Structure 1
Amino acid sequence: MSLAATEAARAAESAQGVYVLGNRGPLAGVTPPPGFYVGSQTYYYSGNLGGNRTFQSGGVAAANVKLDFSADFVTPVWVTPAEILGGNLGLSITLPFGTPNVGAGAVLSSPRIDRIVAGREHDANVNVGDIYLTSFVGWHSGNLHWSATLLGVVPSGSYQPGQLSNVALNRPALDLSGALTYLDPVLGYELSVVPGITFNWVNPATQYLTGTEFHLEWSASKYLSKELSLGVVGYFYDQLTGDSGAGNRIGPFKGRVTALGGQVGYTFKVGDIPVSTNVRFFREFDVQNRFTGTAAYLTISAPLWVAPSKPAAEKKPAITKI
């Protein structure tokens, strides 16, 4: 089977960005007070890349791909007392681990994709992902809260060339994003928007260079009580420049996807420690050159230690969490 006989349509190596779409939801622009926090996100994605479209991952190209991906992202966060332009500086690190379960209708030959060398293939391996290093600065003014975030992705060395199932993408990258949240503690309304852009470097194992990517997430929620909220969430992704590099064997294809869904948040206490939980669900549509599927998140976060409040005369406008 020649490549011309397939509909060569996908975007970003492994059809994934290092920025996981939908990972920031309600209250995305709110930076908590200085202290140490821990968060855990359990992520599940199920999608298809059918219609004889090709997929390149780990230096291997495949057609008619089915992906079931589950992963956990554990993130310790330190919001420092240091201030930049009046906003609090925060730092975090994340090392994801999980199991991409990948099934392919046909694995195509390498280095020339001009014939099928295998029939239906299946690959599922528990492995760790790349290292996410994040710094952010957050500000507050009345009901408005906003932040600027710099995310750096460092390959962890766990990537396996020739393997379809990789949590790690082995692609150094920088992601710049901003977040704005409007939170009315009296009426109980929350609105958040998070635009960002990802700059990728070449995967040294495959010599594949993923193009520059734009992403946008949003949420609109209503607090039914101080503990419970319901709302709608969504994301939009658009690849701004095409893929390239010596290892790219499927062309400079650019992807796009939109997703809408719902969320429910609930906060409870374990002793004196408030524990925030959130469940988000997304269904993708208007998809071009990417998987089409469903994503879900379970987020749990809690403070480990919060710095004592400043004297009243030194306090900034308070953040009221409902």
Structure 2
Amino acid sequence: MLAALPGVAHADENGISFWVPGFFGSLAATPQQPGWSLANIYYHTSVSAGADVARARNFSLDRVPGNVTLNANLNLSVNATGNLGFVIPTYVFETPVLGGQASVSMIAAYGVVGTSLAGTLSGVLTGPFGNSVPFSRSDSISDTTWGFGDLIPQFALRWNAGVHNYMTYITGDIPVGAYESTRLSNIGIGHGAIDGGGGYTYFNPQTGHEFSGVLGFTYNFKNTATQYQSGVDMHFDWGASQFLSKQVMVGAVGYVYKQLGCDSGSGDRVGCFRSQVVGVGPQIGFLFPVGDMQGYLNLKAYGEFAAENRPSGWNTWVTFSISPPAPGAPPTTKPVVRKY
């Protein structure tokens, strides 16, 4: 799994979430071969949002006095891009745990996030004697942050029963990444979080049909720098594919992300601020040998819609992983050995 991508692109506080929709995809619940594996991911996102998210960001930056009541019609927008790389080492245990296959992972990230905010805030400033004074502020600011993201440990269990595969996982955020509450762009999220859930994969090697879905929930701890606590989030990632050969698969991917609980805390100046987004797009994957290991390359992209209280746009993922060859997985071609 993967969580806590750039702190500019997603929901809850300022439209930022711990969970990054789209990490889980095809073959998510299928067991792996015991031993070490390594995944490397390049992630690019480009998103924008209107007045509600931009207003929330202005509040968190302390650019609006606390005694200002803003008008409903705000001419504000925020735009952001992120380019990040992730390194994910995983160890799969050979000894069964609760009849399933246990694995532990650690996710580390490094990259750059750029954000710009522009527009006009207008409202009414309440004076010390209850008098009202018109308030207006025009903003055009931008910020770019390079650095490391938060650390994300994860534990998972997987079970196999023929063409049916099941998984459960638990993960969390260790907030050690680049984060400053007064910055417009952040890579870390500034607070801890716990996330857990379960998933299912149907995979028939004979027909090449595959479908996977993973449902999870996130509990967010309070951000002590802003005294803001995001509500509980729900996320569902899915992937469907057809193996055209033993080495090539094509299909579709998608996700649904919805905040279930309201935001809270003394730093919450925007109210409940529940967020949601839906994404869908294509994918293609390739299996190939890397020495005596199995290589896997996957490219997928998502276009987002139905967004509320969060930026939306599009994102792309390029994943390259090396792992021990898994029994029952789609076979790859053997390397050609020539003797002269």
| 2:246 corresponding residue in structure 1 | 226
Pick the aligned partner of 2:281 from 236, 261, 266.
261
Q: State the one-letter code of the partner of 2:61.
A: V
How far apart are 1:47 and its partner, in Å?
0.9
Aligned length: 300
Report the RMSD for the aligned CA atoms in angstroms: 2.4
TM-score (norm 2): 0.82
1:229 positional shift: 0.5
Please tell me whether the aligned partners of residues 58 and 163 of structure 1 are also in contact (alpha carbons under 8 angstroms).
Answer: no
Unaligned runs of 5+ in 1: 1-9, 310-317
Q: Is the 8 A contact 1:58 1:164 kept in 2?
A: no
- Counterpart CA distance in 2 for 1:131 and 1:91 is 13
Distance across 2 between alignment mates of 1:284 and 1:244: 27
Contact map agreement 1:107 1:121 (CA 8 A) in 2: no
Residue 156 of structure 2 corresponds to residue 142 of structure 1: no
TM-score, length basis structure 1: 0.87
Q: Deviations over 1:228-269 (max 9, x none)?
A: 100011000110011111112222111111111010001222
Q: How does 1:108-257 map to 2 (within 5 A)?
A: 119-156=139-176, 158-257=178-277
The one-letter code matched in structure 2 to 1:59 is S
Counterparts of 2:294 and 2:205, CA distance in 1:
18
- Distance in 2 (alpha carbons) for counterparts of 1:52 and 1:195: 28
* Cα distance, 1:59 vs structure 2: 3.2
For the Cα contact (< 8 Å) 1:140–1:146, is it kept in 2? yes
Alignment match, 2:34: 34
Per-residue CA deviations over 1:36-67 (Å, capped at 9, x if unaligned) read: 00001111111111246524389326841001
**Alignment counterpart, residue 294 of structure 1, candidates 296, 311, 314:** 314
Matched residues in 1 for 2:35 and 2:322: separation?
11
Whole-Å separation in 2 of the counterparts to 1:76 and 1:115: 52
Which of residues 50, 67, 82 is equivalent to 1:69?
82
For the 8 Å contact 1:99–1:165, the answer to whether it is kept is no
The percent of aligned pairs where both chains have the same amino acid is 31
1:248 and 1:82 map into 2 onto residues whose CA distance is 47
CA gap of 1:253–1:218, structure 2 versus 1, over 3 A, is: same
Q: Which has the larger radius of gyration?
A: 2
The amino acid that maps onto 1:21 is P
1:130 is matched by which residue type in structure 2?
A: D
* Further displaced range: 184-193 or 155-164: 155-164
Alignment of 1:98 onto 2:118: no
Match of 1:314 in 2: none
**Alpha-carbon distance, 1:16 to partner:** 2.3
Q: How far apart, in 1, do the equivalents of 2:197 and 2:58 lie?
A: 26
For 1:75, the aligned partner's letter is: I
